[in-house]
Amino acid sequence: MDATNMNIPELPPCTKAAIFLDFDGTLVDIAPTPDGIHIPDTLPALLNDLRDQAGGALVVISGRAAGDLAQWLPDYTGLIVGGHGAEWRRDGKVTPRVDLAQDSLDMLRDAASAFAGTYPPVLLEEKPTGLVLHYRAQPDLQQTVETFTAHLAQTHTDFEAQPAKMAVEMRPQGVGKDLAIADIMGFDLFSGRIPVMIGDDTTDEPAMEWAQKQGGLGIKVGPGETKAHHRLPDTQAVHTLLRHWA
């Protein structure tokens, strides 16, 4: 589907929903750099209100590090899933969900750092469980970055290359937002609820698909191909939807 304007269906009551929200491009607008985002003043309270209405069954799930998300959302007290599922923040504590050899991660970072040094427009973002190479400053470097990260995935087999918006991420093998959501839906708090996943990027597609296969909803934010059955035009529309839902 590639329509940029789709009607949103009637959402399940918060008391029956398991709510999963991506961060960049969904709750906040994408910025030229990861540190350049703006957090709307009303966002933390909105998330906490919706979480309360859902009896705690709300998760912010992102490719960002969980600790990074916690710093951007200091007043949000709910579950945070970072690194596409590689780490979780629960009860104020960040814990890894993958077992990575530090020397393997260090070698990956060294190779990516050398590459970014060769192509100054490319921004290297290091994460606790991987890294991202952003080419937003020079989009015609897409093929160069994709070729390099494909090579990295072949030489560093603990990781896989995941394309994203104007970026390619090297993330640990065996993680994904769909897998994280499937785990969370097994918790007593979430069990039996209707999963609703809202996201904007290719990394959100498997999670939106998974939610739909379980009888829930996948909602795509913004333009672009998607397997989600529903769509919102932008982050402002997401906030409006969440306010009405809460």
Name the helix (H) or strand (E) containing 19.
strand 17-21
Q: Where are the alpha helices (DSSP H) in the chain?
A: 43-53, 66-72, 102-118, 142-155, 177-184, 205-213, 235-245
Has 22 been annotated as catalytic?
yes
Taking alpha carbons only, the member of 106, 74, 109, 118 closest to residue 92 is: 74
Residue whose pair of structure tokens reads 């991987």 in the numeric block: 130
Catalytic residue among 22, 178, 200, 204: 22
CB atoms within 10 A of CB 60: 26
Residue whose pair of structure tokens reads 């994460």 in the numeric block: 127
CB atoms within 10 A of CB 119: 16
Active site residues: 22
